[in-house]
Amino acid sequence: MDTTSLTGKELAAALNAETKQRAAALAEQGGAPRLVLVVANDDPASGWYVGSLQRAAGRLGIDCDTVDLGADATADAIRAELSKLSADPGVHAVMLQTPLPAGVGLDDVSGAIAAEKDVDGVSPLSLGRLAAGLPGFPPATAEAVVELARRHDIPLAGRHVAVVGRSNVVGKPLAHLLLAENATVTVCHSRTTDLPAVTSAADVVVAAVGRAGLITGDHVREGAVVIDVGTNEGPDGGIVGDVDAASVTGKAAALSPVPGGVGPVTTALLMRHVVQATEAARA
């Protein structure tokens, strides 16, 4: 069987083209959209990601500033900064970069981000609104999975989707987004008994656990669609996914590549959220 590559580059380009137009219109009306990234770590991978977001924002006409609180920042200091930015009318979007300092959990501080500026949907309020089917920003990575499937004409309604991973960043919010698409969803995790039996019964498998090569051909039925959300460091220092692509290729009908699949769509959606937040603030 030929395995179609579910690339995200074309979709990201289309999203970015629209975002750039909307950002330009906003700039003419009252100034460019402004995103502020809050960082409290000295992690090299985090630094690379922040840089990539700044470059992406710059290409689209979005102002992007960074507040570096240092790797030893306290939960109180992080909450105070997030509250200040949330109250600043000159800031349209706020994003808290992980990892956080030792002893500080995302749940401890993310509630300080105002929901209307929480463009990556990390706060308890944003997640609650998603679960209740109310307007708000979903986590961009979870949303990217649905948008990628839509772009490649992969039907979700009525189909069985197995989501491997139950994080608040991808797994749980993705389950709600898939339910909104009328999919039948199974959420798998480290305590799932006989994972291959569960995933191989699904029409679509989404791997989002952060373990390189966890999902193999044994986890996938013939003709299934596999979407790989994982970004792990490979043996050679490159980026690899949660799916063992070699063993899945030829068995799955379609597979998203890593890199080049979900990743570029995630960044494009984040930038679209910034523009949407700015438009809502000025409405």
* pLDDT of the residue at 233: 86
Q: Is 231 annotated as a binding residue?
A: yes
* Strands annotated E in 81-121: 93-96
* pLDDT of the residue at 272: 98
CB 112 within 8 A of CB 86: yes
What tens digit of pLDDT does each residue of 95-110 get? 999 999 999 999 999 9
* pLDDT of the residue at 238: 87
Question: Residue 219, SS3?
Answer: helix
Sign, Cα dihedral of 270, 90, 76, 44: positive
Q: Is 165 annotated as a binding residue?
A: yes
DSSP 118: B
As a whole number of Å, the CA-based R_g of the chain is 19
What tens digit of pLDDT does each residue of 21-56 get? 999 999 999 999 999 999 999 998 899 899 999 999
Mean pLDDT over 135-146 rounds to 97
What tens digit of pLDDT does each residue of 269-283 get? 999 999 999 999 999
CB 136 within 8 A of CB 273: no
Q: Is 121 annotated as a binding residue?
A: no
* pTM above threshold 0.85: yes
Cis geometry, peptide bond prior to residue 139 (ω within 30 degrees of 0) = no
- d(CA 99, CA 113) in angstroms, rounded, equals 17
User: Regarding the domain with residue range 140-263, which homologous superfamily does it belong to in the CATH classification?
Assistant: NAD(P)-binding Rossmann-like Domain (3.40.50.720)
> Which of 256, 254, 253, 225 has its CA nearest to residue 241?
256
Region(s) of the chain under CATH 3.40.50.720: 140-263
Reply yes or no on whether the pLDDT at 166 is more than 90. yes
Tell me the pLDDT of the chain averaged across its residues.
97
* pLDDT of the residue at 45: 84
Q: Is 167 annotated as a binding residue?
A: yes
Region(s) of the chain under CATH 3.40.50.10860: 31-114
* pLDDT of the residue at 235: 87
Cis geometry, peptide bond prior to residue 173 (ω within 30 degrees of 0) = no
* Strands annotated E in the chain: 4-5, 34-39, 63-68, 93-96, 160-164, 184-188, 204-207, 225-228, 232-233, 239-240, 254-255
CATH 3.40.50.10860 fits 31-114, yes or no: yes
Compute the 3-state secondary structure of the chain and give helix, strand, coil in percent, each to the nearest 5: 45, 15, 40
Burial of 244 (0-12, 13-18, 19+ CB in 10 A): buried
Reply yes or no on whether the pLDDT at 236 is more than 90. no
* pLDDT of the residue at 234: 86
What tens digit of pLDDT does each residue of 169-200 get? 999 999 999 999 999 999 999 999 999 999 99
Mean pLDDT over 118-131 rounds to 97
* pLDDT of the residue at 100: 96
CA within 13 Å, CB half, 92: 26
